[in-house]
A and B are shown apart, each in its own frame.
Chain A
């Protein structure tokens, strides 16, 4: 359900028909950007499943660098504590990757992350929400006028009666990361507009999408994770999505770094979440 659609700027072409022949000329320009001093980035996740609890620590890199250059941060002390006082120290498995295989999250618990690196301390807290399961997952083939052919995947779930539930839907194709579906879209959902309802969210995947390469094929397995996230995580992803869309939209407000629950000016987030997965094969 999307009730707050933003303006479809492309359709503006109809308003000023004489402009259609000219509108939106684009060219590559060279922009001189300041080189920012490297800044710490922490990305921490803990789930209710038997996943490895992982905290990634790195630093920001040069924006126009031809080689992606985001240096990992080693030798940090990373601990996660729950609200019962149970504490676990994560160990560095790869440069900048800190893991624990013994730590498993529980619904309703509150988790605290503490990172000590290069003499600075960064902390964050996140509550693991009640788990919400996917009631059903189904696909409907679509063939659109503009030549797109593919599927609409519908995810149905029941929002709990109390307000304040936040979701993130993470689709995957044959276990590949979500980037391969619909580009960079983040499927976020809050029960603000429809609390306690049976929710149906639609995700579009296309076999042929304009002139672009196929993103799915008949026979592919689509896995959909329904993540129940807390409000700060929702806030993080929502403000992150604003940055991404502001790359595209000429008229968006000034972009800023996403709102994080991490202290001491760190970029990134720490999220405790529950999730439910379902799979479907495209036919």
Chain B
């Protein structure tokens, strides 16, 4: 707490110093909220800037708030956002003013609006690097498996983000592992982001407003994971009129209802979807099959209300469940629940604050039946989370953000119960408890013309609390000592001091060099006995045996726009060093094991690469092409004889091409093509007999490569009217048999021979989705 205090004082000092220097001139502040005229949604990332010789600008935050401080005078102020008509107003700045603006979507083209056709160069001028926003309209156009628009699949097409496998929602960010990605939905961390064993994400794209992915130069307000941030914000709901939209697809159907609670004051949105494959199973005449339950559903609900000019309250929730039950044999049920209560308050025309109370829960249940005995295993993680975030828009050259965060974690590593009197064997691995605190600040400043700096610091602490038992293990993983701690007693504390720095050196209006250094810490670790995202994956805290993971990343980039910002290009190189990454001892037993910490092995990892991007965001033909060259290595004392080996996330080459063609008229076309180097895998290099059976002999970890992966997807959207469209897509259009796995077996025709069998799970797959909108 002492250190948090110190950081607070530091922030105050900086504010004080900067205010001094500005006090001389007559400065006034324009502030307000920018919304869409169509539905009253607050617009994120819209720019408000002066026109003329000296351009001074501000950008709206996650809640649509902007604050622009100018020297007294008369200005032409321009407000713009891609997809919206640019608006210009003449403003006499002679006092502080609140100016709330509605921007008109370009499609509507009301005549009083000036269409300038100008494009922003925000990608060049900001200090932000290694970050990408996913346009929601692109998300809806890009073809994906089964016709399901899916954020987690679509972000895998962005530079720095790589698919963890065929059809998998798991992803690797710059050579990091899948558990090193922070995924937040309306400020709530999501602990398992997949449905259907990893083939679909839990995010219903009908309810999504804004998606940002950051793989480097991670801002100080984000923490707790090493490699990336995926920040997802949901729609607020239509403030103007009631509406319903939805879709009917092959896998599931979706329905979203939204409308005002009080027009222009408050609104709600309810969005749900469910799969229906199991409905066909009910029709089966087989009395077992028709009791099989296989489905998932999810529900997003959100309401907001504006109280006067300065306050807005949001309440939002997510609830999703997967169900996979085979009567009297087994059952798997899992899902996330999150709830967020937020209060936006405008403390002044320069000072915006958000207070959040968040609850996140992930739960997994596995039932197994043998005879009349039914066993149930439960595991999961539960968070209660409080956040304070403030933004202080001191003047057009200085923005300061700071905040505090406290999370109380409850880890449920596994409880076994049964319905019979085997009471002696009902087992419960102790729940674990921890509190994670963080304080951060960052200061974005224009030092001199053409040089911007964003420096910040995040200080995090993590304390494992009792009740609990801390075990000490010897080298072979056997318990040699244990200490029992009472409720609320501190077991161990870790701290992490994380500097975050990024800088922008403008070459001219169209090009800039950027550099960043980021340190990130991670106190939670995901244990998985599979390479894909699995519902049984277990989150565990840092303890006396499990050290926090740490990463340091440096990145350097050159950003250049062409043709009046019509084309964006960038090259980024990075190097990332990761400490205390986790792997498993051979044959590790992760389930229901009170000594699961003895099954782990700790090592280091390092990743480096270069990412190239060419992008066109506007026009009839838009899209992007990205190429990444990279390596990701790992080293553990007890694995692979202590030699470094390529991690599973190691990809030498990775290419994504996205093209969206929208000519005037009713048709819209989209195509994506991906290519990447095959995964590093372990294959045998010999064999031998044990117990009369031939056993493969392994010489090195991940010493082989799967064949390269490549795939073309096509999508065609036909718009009947503003109210309905039909989307036809083709996944894997040229029917490439990409390897999901390669296994070895005896040749059935010649038992003396061994053969390699490649399994492909998704060959060419067509799908159709009908979307409607009322």
Query: Which of A9, A59, A194, A238 is in CB contact (< 8 Å) with B587?
Result: A238
Minimal Cβ-Cβ distance residue in B for A27 = B758
Cα of A39 to Cα of B685 in the assembled complex, Å:
11
Q: How far is the CA of A4 from the CA of B684 in the complex (A)?
A: 28
- Is B531 in the interface zone, CB < 8 Å from A? yes
Bound CA span A253–B697, Å: 16
A62 to B753 alpha-carbon distance, docked (Å): 11
Q: Is the Cβ of A11 less than 8 Å from the Cβ of B294?
A: yes
- What chain A residues lie within 8 Å of B743 (beta carbons)? 247-248, 250
A residues 11-44 near B (Cβ < 8 Å) are: 11-12, 14-19, 22-31, 33-36, 38-39, 41, 43
- Contact B530 A251, beta carbon cutoff 8 Å: yes
Binds B, one of A80-88, A111-119, A256-264, A273-281: A256-264
| Chain B residues whose C-beta falls within 8 Å of the C-beta of A41 in the assembled complex | 688-690
Given A18-B146, A24-B761, A256-B698, the answer on whether A33 and B683 have CB atoms closer than 8 Å is yes
Name the residue of chain B whose CB is nearest to the CB of A254. B682
Q: Please tell me if the beta carbons of B754 and A240 are within 8 angstroms of each other in the complex.
A: no
The CA-CA distance from A243 to B586 in the complex, in Å, is 10
Question: Could you tell me the distance between the alpha carbons of A38 and B699 in the complex, rounded to whole angstroms?
Answer: 11
Contacts of A24 in B (CB 8 A): 759-761
- Contact present for B737 and A70 (CB under 8 Å): no
Tell whether A138 is near chain B: CB-to-CB under 8 Å: no
For the complex, what is the distance from the CA of A250 to the CA of B692, rounded to whole Å? 26
Q: Residue of B at shortest CB range from A17?
A: B277
- Provide the main secondary structure of the chain A interface: loop
Query: How far apart are the CA atoms of A253 and B685 in the complex, in Å?
Result: 18
Give B615 Cβ to nearest chain A Cβ, in Å.
32
The yes or no answer to B424 lying at the interface (CB within 8 A) is yes
Interface size range on A against B: 35 or more
Provide the bound-state CA to CA distance between A7 and B333, in Å. Answer: 12
Nearest CB in chain B: distance from A164 CB, A: 11
Per-residue CB contact flags for chain A residues 194-238 toward chain B (1 = under 8 Å, else 0) read 111100001000000000000000000000000000000001001
Q: Is A106 an interface residue (CB 8 A)?
A: no
Q: Residue of B at shortest CB range from A252?
A: B530
Q: Is A127 on the interface with B (CB-CB < 8 A)?
A: no
Q: A36, B686: Cβ atoms under 8 Å?
A: yes
Q: Residues of B contacting A67 with CB < 8 Å? A: 752
| A195 partner, pick from B425, B591, B757, beta carbons under 8 A | B425
Asked whether A36 lies within 8 Å of B699 as measured between CB atoms, the reply is yes
Instruction: Flag if A3 contacts B416 (CB, 8 Å).
Output: yes
**A3, B375: Cβ atoms under 8 Å?**
yes
Cα distance A30–B251 in the bound complex, in angstroms: 35
A60 to B178: give the CA distance in the assembly, Å: 36
* Contact between chains at A18 and B278 (CB < 8 Å): no
Cβ–Cβ contact B592 & A145, under 8 A:
no
Does A147 touch B at the CB level, under 8 Å?
no
Q: Please tell me if B324 contacts chain A, counting CB pairs below 8 Å.
A: yes
The residue from B199, B296, B688 contacting A60, defined by CB atoms under 8 A apart: B688
User: In the complex the two chains form, is B742's CB within 8 Å of A243's CB?
Assistant: no
Q: How many residues of B contact A (CB 8 A)?
A: 91
Measured CA separation A190–B699 after assembly (Å): 30
| A123 partner residues in chain B, CB cutoff 8 A | none
Q: Say yes or no for B196: interface residue by CB 8 A criterion.
A: yes
- Residues in A whose Cβ lies below 8 Å from that of B54: none
Q: In the complex, how many angstroms separate the beta carbon of B691 from the nearest chain A beta carbon?
A: 7
Whether, in the assembled complex, A184 has its beta carbon less than 8 Å from a beta carbon of chain B, the answer is yes
Q: Which of B22-30, B462-470, B548-556, B762-770 contacts A (4 or more CB under 8 A)?
A: B762-770
Q: Which residues of A have CB within 8 Å of B763?
A: 22, 25
Known interface pairs A16-B277, A145-B286, A197-B422. Does A36 touch B697 (Cβ–Cβ under 8 Å)?
yes
A193 at the interface (CB under 8 A from B): yes
A129 near B: Cβ within 8 Å?
no
Q: With a CB–CB cut-off of 8 A, which chain A residues contact B692?
A: 177, 179
Interface residues of B in 299-313 (CB under 8 A from A): none
Query: In the complex, which residue of chain A has the Cβ closest to the Cβ of B289?
Result: A145
A15 near B197 with CB under 8 A, answer yes
B757: contacting residue among A28, A58, A255, CB under 8 A: A28
A4 touches B425 (CB 8 A): no
By the criterion CB–CB under 8 Å, are B277 and A15 in contact?
yes
Q: Which of B273-309 contact A (CB under 8 A)?
A: 275, 277-278, 280-281, 286, 288, 292, 294, 296
Contact with A along B716-751 (1 / 0, CB 8 A): 000000000000000000000101111111000010
Nearest CB of B to A233, in Å: 12
Q: Are A14 and B197 touching (Cβ within 8 A)?
A: no
The 9 closest A-B pairs by CB, nearest first: A250-B741, A239-B587, A36-B685, A60-B686, A14-B294, A36-B686, A3-B375, A251-B530, A41-B688
Q: Could you show 14 A-B contacts with beta carbons less than 8 Å apart? A: A1-B375, A15-B277, A17-B250, A19-B761, A28-B756, A43-B689, A59-B688, A67-B752, A202-B370, A247-B744, A248-B743, A250-B740, A251-B741, A256-B701
Chain B residues within 8 Å of A, Cβ to Cβ? 146, 196-197, 199, 250-251, 275, 277-278, 280-281, 286, 288, 292, 294, 296, 324, 326, 330, 332, 366, 368, 370, 373, 375, 377, 416, 422, 424-425, 427, 529-532, 534, 584, 586-587, 591-592, 639, 648, 681-699, 701-704, 707, 737, 739-745, 750, 752-765, 767
